[in-house]
Amino acid sequence: MDRKPAEVKERLTRLRTLAEQNLDEMRSIVHEIGEEEESNLIRQVEAHVANFREHTGILLTLKVLGTEQHTHFEVRQTILRVIQESITNALKHGKASQLYLELQFSEFVLHLVVRNNGKPIDKLEYGFGLTTMKHRVESLGGSLFVSSEVGAETITEVRCEIPLKGVGLHGEN
């Protein structure tokens, strides 16, 4: 500082500018997260379903049971990813022409069921998609089940349950 005060002053000025820019970016990110935190899962699912119907023309029935409570961001994101992956698998591997999606809210648990009429699963293999879904759900204290039955018609089902209370997300209960 004593030998080159002008250079030190210039560096401090640049550091201050960089710190202010970083602070502005962090404020923006926090604001975006705050908006996401206030999002409604049902609205997000309805938007996804409407978009899917519009782009594929495939019958997708949505049924919502119960009343949505405050749902943590991580839970909402996990449910949306499970829905997306389940639909993708139903179309890609099962060649499904009809899908049924049920979202049920209870006081303590969020239930998700995604059914399709595609080809049955001969041997369930946990590839990247299913493994990722399972890990996401289990990291929230939930469970994921996949089954496929051949009867009057083939039904392949993905069932997911995630606790809404009693699981610590960011230190909350």
The CA distance from 173 to 163, in Å, is 11
Name residues whose C-beta falls within 8 Å of residue 103's C-beta, 6 or more positions apart in sequence. Answer: 41, 42, 45, 62, 63, 64, 65, 79, 110, 111, 112
pLDDT tens track for 54-66? 998 899 999 999 9
Positive or negative torsion for Cα 72, 75, 78, 79: negative
Tokens of 122: 């001969």
Residue 137: name the closest of 111, 155, 119, 156 by CA. 111
pLDDT score, position 169: 45
Query: What's the confidence (pLDDT) of residue 28?
Result: 66
What gap in Å lies between CA 135 and CA 169, rounded to an integer? 16
Residue 36 has pLDDT above 90, yes or no: no
d(CA 93, CA 75) in angstroms, rounded, equals: 26
Whole-number average pLDDT of the chain: 85
Strand 109-116 to 143-150 pairing: unpaired
Q: Where residue 140 falls among pLDDT bands split at 50, 70, 90?
A: very high
Strand partners of residue 47 = none
Q: What is the pLDDT of residues 68-82, one digit of tens each?
A: 988 888 999 999 999
Q: What's the maximum distance between 2 C-alpha atoms anywhere in the chain?
A: 88
How many residues in total does the chain contain?
Answer: 173
According to CATH, the superfamily of the domain at 40-163 is Histidine kinase-like ATPase, C-terminal domain (3.30.565.10)
In the chain, where the domains are located: 1-38, 40-163
90-113: pLDDT as tens digits: 998 889 999 999 999 998 999 999
Three-state SS at 150: strand
